[in-house]
Structures are given as C-alpha cells and as structure tokens.
Structure 1
Amino acid sequence: MHIGILTFTFSLPGCSSLKEKRQRVGGLHERFGRNPAVAVCESGELNRHDASEWSFVVVGSSKREVESLCSQIEDKVQRTVEGRVLDVVREFL
C-alpha cells in the first residue's frame, strides 16, 4: 500500500467572512471526498478569512496510482478554486 499527502495553501483575496470562505473552497470536500481512496480536510488557516490550507490523503496499491490521482487532484483544484494557489506540497510515505 502506498500513501501520498497533497497539501495546498490558498490565498483568497477579497474574502471578508468565514461564510464566504466556505463557499469558495468548501466544495473541495464534496468533490474529492466521494472517492474511497481520498480523504480531504481543511488542515490550516481555519479562522482566517483570506487564506486556507487543505490536505488530501491518497491511498493506492502502487506509487504510480497514487501519483496519478495526486496529479488529477492538483489539476482540478487549480482550475476550480476561487482563489490563488500559493503552495502545493507532495509527500509520499
């Protein structure tokens, strides 16, 4: 079994409330959490309006499978989040 951790740090310019923040990035959990090989959570910057950090834990039977799924997640997040991706960190265990 192989495990990958993908962590995104976002800047959310102009975001003035936690409610607006949840509207901008809250859909990440619904979009990716349905896949049984992926766990998703907001992992940092919980109380800031203008920033957010999200982590994805990806599990697969091969490193290639995990890397492929991480790439798919990264591509989709880059296209769908209403904010700027400041940093993406990939770790493999």
Structure 2
Amino acid sequence: MHISVLTMKISLPGCGSLKEKRQRVGGLHERFGRNPAIAVCESGDHDKLDASEWTFVVAAISPQKIESLCSEIEDKLQRTVEGRVLDVTREIL
C-alpha cells in the first residue's frame, strides 16, 4: 500500500465573506470524498476569507495510481475552484 499527502494552498481574490468562501471551495468534499482512495479536509487558513488550504490523503496499490490520482485532484481543483492555486506540496509516506 502506498500513501501520499497532497496539500494545496488556494488564493480566493475578492472573497468578502465566509459564505462566499464556502460557496467557492465547499464542494471539494463532495467531489473528492466519494472516492474511497481519497480523504479530504480543509487543513488551514480557516480564519482567512481570501485564502484556503486543503489536504488530500491518497492511498493506492501502486505509485503510478497515486501519481494519477494526485494529478487528477490538482487538475480538477484548478479547473473548478474560483481562485488561484498558490502552492502544491506532495509527500510520499
């Protein structure tokens, strides 16, 4: 079993309220949490309206599958979230 931790920091320019922040990034749990190989949580910047940090824990049988799932998460997040990805870190456990 292979495990990777993917952390993404997102800038949410112009976001003026907690409600708006949740509208922009709130669907991440639903989009990625359905996959049994992925655990997702908002891991930082809880008190900032214009930023958010999300962590994804990905488990799979092979390193290739881990790479594929992490790339899919990054691509989908960049396409669907109304914001800018500032930083991406991956850690293999």
Q: TM-score range by the shorter chain?
A: over 0.9
After the TM superposition, which segments of 4 or more aligned residues of structure 1 sit over 2 Å from their partners? Answer: none
Structure 1: where are the runs of 5+ without partners? none
Q: Distance in 2 between matches of 1:36 and 1:61?
A: 13
Q: Work out whether 1:60 is the aligned partner of 2:55.
A: no
SS of 1:41's equivalent in the other structure is strand
Q: Distance in 2 between matches of 1:5 and 1:78?
A: 18
Q: Following the alignment from structure 2 to structure 1, what is the Cα–Cα distance between the partners of residues 58 and 19?
A: 28
What stretches of structure 2 of length at least 5 have no aligned partner?
none
> 1:35-54 residue pairs with structure 2 within 5 A?
35-54=35-54
What RMSD in Å do the two structures reach over aligned CA positions? 0.6
Alignment partners' CA distance in 1, 2:60 and 2:81: 25
Give the 5 Å matches for 1:1-93: 1-93=1-93
Aligned pair count?
A: 93
TM-score (norm 2): 0.97
Task: State, as a whole percentage, how many aligned pairs show the same letter.
Answer: 74
TM-score normalised to structure 1 length: 0.97
